[in-house]
Structure 1
Amino acid sequence: MNTVTSTLEAYRPAMHYASKDTWLNDPNGLVFHEGIYHLYYQNNPFGNVHGNLSWGHATSTDLVSWEEQPVAILCDETEEIFSGSIVVDHGNTSGFGEDGTAPLVAVYTSAYKPGSLHQGTQAQSIAWSTDGGYTWTKYAGNPVLTRNSPEFRDPKVFRYEGPAGSYWVMAAVEALDFAVLLYRSDDLRNWSYLSTFGPANGTGGVWECPDLFPLPVDGDAANTKWVLTVNMNPGGPNGGSAGQYFVGEFNGVRFTSETTVTEGLQDDARLAEYDWLDWGRDYYAAVSFSNVPDGRRLMIGWMNNWQYANHIPTAPWRSPMSLVREISLTSADGRPRLVQQPVHEGAAGSTAGQAQFLSVDGSRTLDGGTAVQLLEVAFTPGTAGEFGLVVRGSGDGSTGTRIGIRPGAHQLFVDRTASGDTAFHDAFASVDSAPLRLVDGQYALRIFVDHCSVEIFAENGQVALTDLIFPDPANTAVSLYSTGGTTEASLKLTALASGRY
């Protein structure tokens, strides 16, 4: 292996999933079945740039370690296999089950190629599996739902049980119309229209990859709300790809948002008021797992941005997934807000350091910096106008990723302009920010650092910010800094397992 390839492979994440030697993007078909979590995803089985879209496949028993499986649903001369979802058809409503086995049914977008019967359109198709999701049979009657539209895609299907009845519901998008369309079905084969939501809030780019699900507020089942997530490209709060969410009610027919800031097309002056899943540049196409026990809602996103996705300096693989996040709803300032907590506790090989309590004035390099680690830090503001950390640094202050807080502006930011390799695309070097509130007199951050990323969770999980970075593999220094005065900090560094998946 030459030096260039060795360096590029050194970016392979230790605690995030990436395929062995191919391209991946949107997570698809997320499902828990018979003790196994299945992660399907948009995949080019023949290269490491976007194209030949099929469903790749990986499995896990703990949401931390993933094993790559053979390609699940392969593109052919008629169609590419775009995004979609999987349900466990417990009642065999589809009729695909055999010998009392509940089938898994995949609902995906067929992107029809020139020369095919439905060329130029995107429509919804189904396939089924009776061996636990490893082999799939396409339905001979595909597509099962078409609008003869070139931009109708990304079906997320769930089972609705409520006052309106018991049936399957599909959320899909008309991407250019900034619209989420809802349909219903009794058998996953025949679908009828219910309603449309949108445009609303962020409309700076096409809408993609919707999801709709119920969550109790503050754990109170008597106060359950519905959450609609929808991803958008471009137009995110810091540029390029991003995801947003709405909270409201779903009566089995129509979703009504209680958190919409602007109806119709977005108001750029109010962009910071919208509810974003993640404020970083690299969390997109996020959707949740189905059939998870105990009512847990687990979500994962693609850790990349369409502005530069095909150009990130990795080989032979390209693009990782985010950490899996458990999500919930809490009431804050009189309105429901989404809370996200990473699922990475108890990973084998983790080594926690001792908590440190420090007064910071200027810059202070710490012991214990590693390439893969969790940093838990709480800042108590003093007289400083800005304070924070530098991770994956060179030790001399010349390079590193700066994670800072400006209390006067109520702002968290990530500055990756000196983070390492930023020259591969003009859009990559950036300073990305998110609004941040003081909680109980402190700013508390949980920061997951990997070979090519930082994922930051603040305000007890109400604020997330995810960015890719490509540092020199030798740069592992961590330092605290405070400018214009002093800051008090408590900090614990935990070295995380670095074995590649």
Structure 2
Amino acid sequence: MTETTTHPAGPAEEAAPTIRPVLHYTAKDTWLNDPNGLVRHQGIYHLFYQNNPFDNVWGNMSWGHATSTDLLHWTEHPVAIACDEEEDIFSGSIVVDHGNTSGFGTVDDPALVAVYTSAFKDVSVHQGTQAQSLAFSTDAGMTWNKYAGNPVLGRGSAHFRDPKVFRYGGPGGSCWVMVAVEAQHQQVVLYRSANLKDWEYLSTFGPANAIGGEWECPDLFPLPVDGDPDNVKWVLVVNLNPGAVAGGSGGQYFVGDFDGVQFTADPDSLVPADAGGTTDLNRCLWLDWGRDYYAAVSFSNAPENRRIMIGWMNNWDYANSLPTSPWRSAMSLAREVELATVDGLPRLVQRPVLPLDRGEPAIQNMELCDTVVQLPDAMPGSAQLIEAEILPGTARTVAFRLLGASDGSAATILSFDAVTSRLTLDRRNSGDTAFHEKFASTESAPVKLDGGVLRLRVIVDQCSVEVFAQGGGVVLSDLVFPLPGNLGADVCVQGGTAIVRKLVVSALS
């Protein structure tokens, strides 16, 4: 079986408008979008994804495939589940069928079972509809067979898709639970099954909160609050396009309870519409306040009940126009998610999965007043990690200039405004922004200081910036396309005095 390993761009690609990211997965020379079928099996993480095997724009939807042992370095494999004359293979999930409930494997050697959306074409007897189908693998995910009895669940709907399946155990026994969407109705629909083949309707959730576009790619999982196994809440993730807080695509979530039949959101997770029917998007719960984190879902079968998510690092507003070649689109870094008490309420915190090595502090306990301090440049062939603890003090703004030109003419700006308590990522002058009218943008999120301290973890990877603030309680992710040679970085304090308690810059590869 032919395999290709993703690497930083070689000499032949350096003349391209952008350099391939180092730690963010990209397909070698094709298009990708939503992550699908995330599963860990026999010590290997499997990333399946929406893929056009024949081009670097959306189309011919099939499941691409990559594997990793560390969630940072990925090996690309041939297409796993291919489209054919009757169906495109839309999003879905994979479970390890412990117990062999489906009969596709054995109890001692369980099959991997993919539950995916069949988007039926005109030649199919199911034309014009979307329904859920199965494929199975008995060789640890390397080859797949479609189930002869497909589809296994339909509603006669043209927009019923994106099944996420998990094993649920309750007082009434164990079963498989599916969360899927009626996309254009802004509804999550839940079903259960004993064998992954026969499904029974359970309940519906939604519409709620952000409903300005189609709901897609749901996920539902339990997490202990503050690590307390006696205080478990459920998190329902619902991705949305368009209508996200930063515009276009994005992911929202709800915290609540699930009893095996119905998900009930906590009242503090719900944002009522005003008298005019408008919902304040700034009050909704967002996975990411940036423009480029969508279709995020979590791994099945992760070790030690860890909850690890990956999203598509793109936005449907401009996805097919990104100035990259021959590849187009990347995945986000993997993020471990937990529930923590924030202002008395359970909220998600996200921490990127990163290499363990760190650099030495570039700054320690330095007082800055209307000052610019140069930081190490980003390096070709490496990602850059900036970790900072800053007391803004009397300063109005603390700003980082990333992937900047040596003459100061261009950069991506990450800034914290102490007056408004907002963190802003500004890519309007980041380099190549003219390829699409909606790309040049500024994103911001509310950030509450912790004991007067701003804590940042920023990953700059060739053509992207991911910002994790306050321990991952607030996240901002944006694509950027700096011009060749724009690698400079600095930190600037304006309008008063701030103390940089610690600042570490590391090169990651």
**TM-score interval w.r.t. the shorter chain?**
over 0.9
Structure 2: distance between partners of 1:475 and 1:267: 45
User: Which of 248, 255, 261 in structure 1 is aligned with 2:270?
Assistant: 261
Q: CA deviation at 1:477?
A: 1.1
Q: Secondary structure at the match of 1:149?
A: coil
Structure 2: distance between partners of 1:269 and 1:397: 40
Partner of 1:430: 441
Q: Which runs of 5+ in 2 are unaligned?
A: 1-8
Deviations 1:312-355 (A, max 9, x none): 110000001000000000111121100100011326xx644544
Q: CA deviation at 1:132?
A: 0.3
Q: 1:330 to 1:203 in 2, by over 3 A?
A: same
Structure 1: distance between partners of 2:188 and 2:286: 17
Aligned residue runs from structure 1 range 28-67, under 5 A: 28-67=36-75
| Counterpart AA for 1:374 | L
Contact 1:79 1:112 in 2 (8 A): yes
Q: 1:69 to 1:4 in 2, by over 3 A?
A: closer
Partner of 2:508: 497
Aligned residue runs from structure 1 range 60-75, under 5 A: 60-75=68-83
Deviations 1:403-427 (A, max 9, x none): 0011111100001011010000000
Q: CA deviation at 1:383?
A: 2.6
Partner of 2:309: 299
| Counterpart AA for 1:453 | S
Partner of 1:484: 495
Aligned residue runs from structure 1 range 144-155, under 5 A: 144-155=152-163
Q: Which runs of 5+ in 1 are unaligned?
A: none
Partner of 1:160: 168
Contact 2:361 2:502 in 1 (8 A): no
Q: CA deviation at 1:9?
A: 6.6
Q: Secondary structure at the match of 1:457?
A: strand
Contact 2:18 2:482 in 1 (8 A): no
User: What's the TM-score, normalizing by structure 1?
Assistant: 0.95
Structure 1: distance between partners of 2:412 and 2:222: 37
Structure 1: distance between partners of 2:485 and 2:365: 27
Structure 2: distance between partners of 1:236 and 1:226: 22
Q: 1:4 to 1:58 in 2, by over 3 A?
A: closer
Q: Percent identity?
A: 58
Q: 1:337 to 1:288 in 2, by over 3 A?
A: same
Structure 2: distance between partners of 1:19 and 1:431: 28
Partner of 1:403: 414
Deviations 1:132-191 (A, max 9, x none): 001000011100000010000000000001123210000000000100000000000000
Structure 2: distance between partners of 1:429 and 1:268: 26
2:191 is the counterpart of 1:180? no
Q: Secondary structure at the match of 1:173?
A: strand
Q: CA deviation at 1:481?
A: 1.4
Q: 1:221 to 1:98 in 2, by over 3 A?
A: closer
User: What's the TM-score, normalizing by structure 2?
Assistant: 0.94
User: Which of 293, 318, 331 in structure 2 is aligned with 1:321?
Assistant: 331
RMSD of aligned alpha carbons: 1.9
User: Which of 418, 432, 437 in structure 2 is aligned with 1:421?
Assistant: 432
Partner of 1:440: 451
Q: CA deviation at 1:363?
A: 4.5
For these two proteins, the number of residue pairs brought into alignment is 496
2:344 is the counterpart of 1:334? yes
Structure 1: distance between partners of 2:15 and 2:435: 14
Q: Secondary structure at the match of 1:496?
A: strand
2:471 is the counterpart of 1:460? yes
Q: CA deviation at 1:379?
A: 2.0
| Counterpart AA for 2:504 | L
Q: 1:360 to 1:367 in 2, by over 3 A?
A: same
Structure 1: distance between partners of 2:307 and 2:361: 31
Partner of 1:217: 225
